[in-house]
Amino acid sequence: MSAKNVLLLFVSVWCLLSCEVVPKKELEMKKKIVIAHRGASGYLPEHTLAAKAMAHAMNVDFIEQDVVLSKDGVPVVIHDIYLDDVTDIAMKFPDRKRKDDRYYVIDFTFDELKTLRVTERFKPQTGEQVYKNRFPKWKSNFKIHSLQEEIELIQGLNLSTGKTVGIYPEIKAPEFHQKEGKKIAEIVLKVLSDYGYQNKKDNCILQCFDAKELERIRKELKSELFLVQLIEFPEEVKQLAYFATYADGIGSWYKQILEKKVNGKWQFTALVANAHQLGLKVHPYTFRADALNDFSSFQEMMQALLIEANVDGAFTDFPDLVVQFLKDKNY
């Protein structure tokens, strides 16, 4: 054997011994993940393709999609079943509101929805922009898009940049869709499957506030995706053991993790420890640098929840700040 071959053999054996083989999913889920909440929504109107592309460029782990169905059953990416707080629907179709004065996504075909202009979130009664210092209302040109179009954007960007950014879709208001005669979970699962998201290795986390529906997605619809049960109310915090029978994680309101501040130091509820005990990941919402509430700075919020309370990820409108914070902390 020549000296060169001996060297090659040595290098190969060294590589084999030193490169620990870790399954793909374990490797990913070990670190704390950054989820772009409605995209980079602190900087561009929520759920626009521009906000999603910006989030992708910020090196997030996942980009969130809230999904609602159109009249013709197209899964559309928008936060609510309503249209009047992020679009010009009231100007374009003034006679198509319901008795409650709201305009519903489900009352319009996808082609009709495509004609709308999307803008920064505002209060429909007053027209007042919700987050004053964000992207200015009615500037530039943004449109509504389907779940498929967004997945194609993210998968296309993954290809062109070499990144592996995942998707984090939420099934919105399944009971409302059921009453309207539509099966939103079945439609969303089909799209996810068509685009290669079928099990826990596929870089997709599916979330829902409706526990019965998420349980049905696991048990009846036999989904093998990573499932996150969103929780909103105090009584839901007590149902962790039930959630663990079908879900892989919980998405809680961050206030459910905070107990109180004593001598400048945060104390926490048992939520994260209890969830971890049951093998559930914890991804609290929403980290907003321009709506701090309990915290004196965004840095304090990230330090308290991500490090001290030891959550496993964050839904954030400001993904660049959380990505940088975790990088500085060596996560």
Minimum distance from residue 100 beta carbon to Ca ion (Å): 22
Minimum distance from residue 64 beta carbon to Ca ion (Å): 6
User: In the complex with Ca ion, which residue's Cβ is closer, 139 or 255?
Assistant: 255
Residues 51-80 that bind Ca ion (CB under 5 A): 66
CA distance 178 to 325: 41
Give the residues across from 258 on adjacent strands.
268
User: In the complex with Ca ion, which residue's Cβ is closer, 93 or 131?
Assistant: 131
Neighbours of 122 (CB within 10 A): 17
Q: What is the DSSP letter of 136?
A: P
Is residue 170 near Ca ion by the rule CB under 5 A?
yes
User: In the complex with Ca ion, which residue's Cβ is closer, 28 or 66?
Assistant: 66
Give the residues across from 226 on adjacent strands.
205
Minimum distance from residue 234 beta carbon to Ca ion (Å): 20
Is residue 150 near Ca ion by the rule CB under 5 A?
no
Q: Select from 275, 291, 294, 284 the least CA-distant residue to 314.
A: 284
Report the interhelical angle of 184-194 vs 147-161 (nearest 10°): 30
List, by residue number, the catalytic residues.
Answer: 37, 79
Question: Of all residues in this chain, which one has the CB nearest to Ca ion in the complex?
Answer: 170
CA distance 303 to 318: 15
CA distance 21 to 197: 23
CB 275 within 8 A of CB 312: no
3-state helix, strand, coil in the chain (%, to 5): 35, 20, 45
Give the residues across from 330 on adjacent strands.
none
Minimum distance from residue 6 beta carbon to Ca ion (Å): 57
Which region among 21-29, 95-103, 150-158, 168-176 touches Ca ion (by CB under 5 A)?
168-176
CB 301 within 8 A of CB 292: yes
Minimum distance from residue 159 beta carbon to Ca ion (Å): 26
User: In the complex with Ca ion, which residue's Cβ is closer, 35 or 305?
Assistant: 35
Is residue 236 near Ca ion by the rule CB under 5 A?
no
Using CB under 5 A, count the residues that bind Ca ion: 2
* Phi, psi (degrees; rounded to nearest 5) at 244: -65, -15
Q: Output the CA torsion sign for 95, 99, 100, 106.
A: negative
Minimum distance from residue 79 beta carbon to Ca ion (Å): 7
User: In the complex with Ca ion, which residue's Cβ is closer, 106 or 206?
Assistant: 206
Neighbours of 70 (CB within 10 A): 22
User: In the complex with Ca ion, which residue's Cβ is closer, 188 or 266?
Assistant: 188
Write out the residues near Ca ion by the rule CB under 5 A. Answer: 66, 170
